[in-house]
Amino acid sequence: MLSYTRTRFHEVRLRLEHHVPTSRLNAFLWEFFLFGFKQAWACLFGGIILGLVLVTKIYWPPHASLARYDFLFLAALLVQFVLLAFRMETIREAKVILVFHIVGTLMELFKTSVGSWTYPEHNLIRIGHIPLFSGFMYSSVGSYLARTTRILDMRYTHYPNKKFTLVLAALIYLNFFTHHFLPDMRALLFLLVAIAFGRTWVYYRPYRRIHRMPLLLGFCLVAFFIWIAENVGTFATIWVYPHQQNGWHFVHFEKYGAWFLLMIISFILVSFVHPPRAPVEKELSGESLLLDSEA
């Protein structure tokens, strides 16, 4: 059996999954509801942060004694404490958030120094050009990937060698810095991602049936929603790209590729917290999979 720390979600999940459908339609609707519910739970940290970003954009007093960015930083810390205190998040997931905060902050320091984007508002809790709150936006991605891995009890077939994935993550992270001075390796990195994960399928269980999809497709979908969240963040003037200096515009879709690669780093780092597991038994139809999860 797995050694996950049980959260309140575990208790809620058991009650919801004990529902006995009365018809095929009822079973389909209940499974659809549970998938949405589990995804929302996985997005809990990032969703709260994004909500605070929008609310403060609309209602934060322009001359408040506490800077908006500082409030968001303190609020993010409070959210993290509440999630842990009420067992809505595990200690391991909190460690993932801390790691991604550090990784994101280091990249922010460099990117703002070369003018890739700016933080237009003043605040006190900052390092160099960046407010410390910014690291939580990267943490939200890591938090989602760690939580959804546990909540949907994800399993994988043809998962690549972990040493290769670690080298791939290092190359991707390095390219975020070096492409400002050396040729951009992005096309090669996309190819390496395709080689590494092209044969990998992910199996997940919203309710009683097991579903599967190509892992690369899952990566593309997650990156797309991150790109949407980025548009929300720039609309709320948390950070601003050069083409948004004179008014908000959609983030260029080329940033989707950058978020795709950053999400690959996040996924690989999460794999060292929640090691990839293979299915226990799989039917050829793909509709039944026996799992030993207590996540």
Please provide the average confidence, as pLDDT, over all residues in the chain. Answer: 87
What percent of the chain is modeled with pLDDT above 70?
Answer: 91
What pLDDT is attached to residue 240?
94
Q: How many domains does the chain have?
A: 1
pLDDT of residue 85: 86
Asked whether residue 28 is assigned to any structural domain, the reply reads yes
Residue 289 φ/ψ, nearest 5 degrees: -145, 125
In a domain, 155, yes or no: yes
| pLDDT reported for residue 8 | 63
Q: Is residue 202 part of a domain?
A: yes
Per-residue model confidence as pLDDT tens digits over 174-194: 999 999 999 999 999 999 999
3-state secondary structure at position 89: coil
Query: pLDDT at residue 211 above 70?
Result: yes
In a domain, 2, yes or no: no
* Cβ-based neighbours of 11, under 8 Å, separated by 6 or more: none
Task: Quote the tokens at residue 191.
Answer: 């190819």
Task: Please give the radius of gyration of the chain, using alpha carbons only, rounded to the nearest integer.
Answer: 20
Is 1 a member of any domain?
A: no
pLDDT of residue 27: 80
DSSP 8-state symbol, 272: T
Starting at the edge strand that comes first in sequence, how are the strands of the sheet with 201-204 ordered? Answer: 155-157, 201-204, 211-214
Of all helices (H) and strands (E), which one includes residue 212?
strand 211-214
Q: What is the pLDDT of residues 94-134, one digit of tens each?
A: 887 888 888 889 999 999 999 999 999 999 999 988 999 99
Confidence of residue 202 (pLDDT cuts 50, 70, 90): very high
Element (H, E) at 281: strand 281-282
Average pLDDT, stretch 194-211? Answer: 92
Q: Which of 22-31, 202-211, 250-259, 274-283 has the highest mean pLDDT?
A: 250-259
Of the candidate ranges 32-46, 91-105, 243-257, the one whose mean pLDDT is the lowest: 91-105
Task: Give dist(CA 66, CA 292) in Å, integer.
Answer: 49
Question: What's the sign of the alpha-carbon dihedral 290, 212, 195, 189?
Answer: negative
Whether 199 is in a domain gets the answer yes
- State the burial class of residue 279 (Cβ atoms within 10 Å of its Cβ: 0-12, 13-18, 19+): middle
Q: How far apart are CA 48 and CA 256, in angstroms?
A: 22
pLDDT tens-place string over residues 138-157: 889 988 998 899 889 899 99
In angstroms, the CA 254 to CA 266 distance is 19
Residue 205: CB partners within 8 Å, gap ≥ 6?
Answer: 152, 153, 211, 289, 291, 293
What does the pLDDT average to over 236-245?
Answer: 92
Q: Looking at the domain assignment, is residue 295 inside a domain?
A: no
Tell me if 41 is assigned to some domain.
yes
- Per the structure, the complete domain to which residue 45 belongs is given by 8-290
